[in-house]
């Protein structure tokens, strides 16, 4: 009986921990905001607001050019490092949606071409 209770508690703890682990990989604006804050904000500014420096103002990025976004972010562009292999594809996807949510893009702009970079990597 005690053992059953212990297993039940362990199972409940595992189940409670799971959504938290998955949330980081989710395609929500909140997951995107976290990934953006961790990877991008030091150059592109908190909430996309650049405070000088040479980084691109992401509030001006065209909503209809996701392919360019994916290419520049995965491969890097001049002073910007390549993020392929550093940020997970799902995080880059979530960052795109986060940028769209800050910029007030229509929902159809947030979807579009999938990020296929790194899809051959072992996850
Ligand atoms: C080390 C500073 C730095 C970091 C960190 C950084 N960037 Fe950049 N980013 C730049 C600079 C500088 C440019 C302008 C490049 C140019 O046009 O010369 C740029 C340009 C861009 C552009 C415009 C590309 C284009 O096609 O014109 C996008 C989109 C972008 N960054 C997204 C991101 C995302 C998303 C992240 C986080 C995963 C990120 N950046 C992290 C420095 C950075």
Question: pLDDT tens across 70-123, in order?
Answer: 999 999 999 999 999 999 999 999 999 999 999 999 988 887 667 666 544 433
Q: Is the dihedral of CA 57, 59, 64, 69 positive or negative?
A: positive
Q: Is residue 83 lining ligand 1, measured as CB closer than 6 Å? A: yes
Q: How many CB atoms lie within 10 A of CB 71?
A: 13
Q: How far apart are CA 42 and CA 52, in angstroms?
A: 11
pLDDT single digits (tens) 57-67: 999 999 999 99
Residue nearest to atom 12 of ligand 1 (CA): 55
| Angstrom distance (rounded) from CA 87 to CA 61 | 20
With a 6 A CB cut-off, is 96 part of the ligand 1 pocket?
no
* Residue whose tokens read 């976290």: 34
Cβ-based neighbours of 109, under 8 Å, separated by 6 or more: 63, 64, 66, 100
Higher per-residue pLDDT: 6 or 94: 94
pTM, full prediction: 0.81
């Amino acid at each position: 009986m005690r053992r059953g209770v212990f297993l039940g508690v362990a199972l409940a703890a595992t189940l409670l921990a799971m959504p938290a682990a998955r949330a980081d990989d989710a395609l929500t604006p909140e997951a995107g905001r976290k990934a953006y804050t961790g990877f991008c904000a030091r150059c592109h500014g908190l909430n996309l607001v650049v405070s000088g420096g040479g980084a691109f103002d992401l509030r001006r990025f065209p909503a209809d050019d996701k392919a360019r976004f994916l290419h520049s972010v995965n491969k890097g562009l001049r002073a910007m490092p390549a993020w392929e292999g550093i940020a997970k594809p799902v995080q880059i996807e979530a960052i795109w949606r986060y940028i769209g949510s800050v910029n007030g893009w229509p929902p159809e702009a947030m979807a579009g071409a999938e990020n296929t970079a790194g899809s051959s990597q072992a996850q």
